[in-house]
Amino acid sequence: MSLNFKKNIKGTYCPPGDKSISHRALILTSQAVGKSEIINLLEGEDVLNTLKVMKELGASIIKKKNKYIVHGLPPGGLFQPRKELDFGNSGTGIRLILGLISTNNISATLKGDKSLSKRPMKRVTNHLERIGTRIRLRGELFPPIVINGVGDAIPLNYDIKIPSAQIKSSIMLSALNTNGLVKIKEFKSTRDHTERMLKAMGYNIKVKEDKKYRFIEMKNDKELKPIKINVPGDPSSAAFFVAAACMKPGSKLLVKNILFNKTRVGFIHTLKKMGGAIKILNKRKIQNEYLADLEINQNSTLKPIILKSEDVPLQIDEIPILSIAASFAKGISIFKGLKELTVKESNRLQLIHKNLKRMGVKSEIKKFDLYIYGDTNLKTGGAKIIHHHDHRIVMSFHIANLICQNPNKIDDNSCVKTSYPRFFNHIKDYFH
Beta partners for 252? 10, 297
Answer yes or no: are the C-beta atoms of 430 and 255 closer than 8 Å.
no
H or E stretch covering 53? helix 45-56
* CB neighbours of residue 46 within 10 Å: 24
Please state the φ and ψ torsions of residue 373, each to the nearest 5 degrees.
Answer: -100, 90
CA atoms of 3 and 285, how far apart (whole Å): 37
Residue tagged active-site, from 317, 390, 411, 412: 317
Exposed / middle / buried, residue 386 (Cβ in 10 Å: 0-12, 13-18, 19+): middle
CA atoms of 256 and 73, how far apart (whole Å): 34
Cis amide prior to 163 (ω within 30 degrees):
no
Helix H, strand E, coil C: the string for 67-126 is EEEEECCCCCCCCCCCCCEECCCCHHHHHHHHHHHHCCCCEEEEECCCCHHHCCCHHHHH
CA atoms of 340 and 91, how far apart (whole Å): 13
CA atoms of 305 and 369, how far apart (whole Å): 13
Find the farthest-apart pair of alpha carbons in the chain and give their distance in angstroms, rounded: 63
Would you say how long the chain is, in residues?
A: 432
Which is it for strands 85-86 and 107-111: parallel, antiparallel or unpaired? parallel
Q: Using alpha carbons only, give the angle 201, 203, 206 rounded to the nearest 5 degrees.
A: 120
311 in catalytic set: no
Query: Catalytic positions, please?
Result: 317
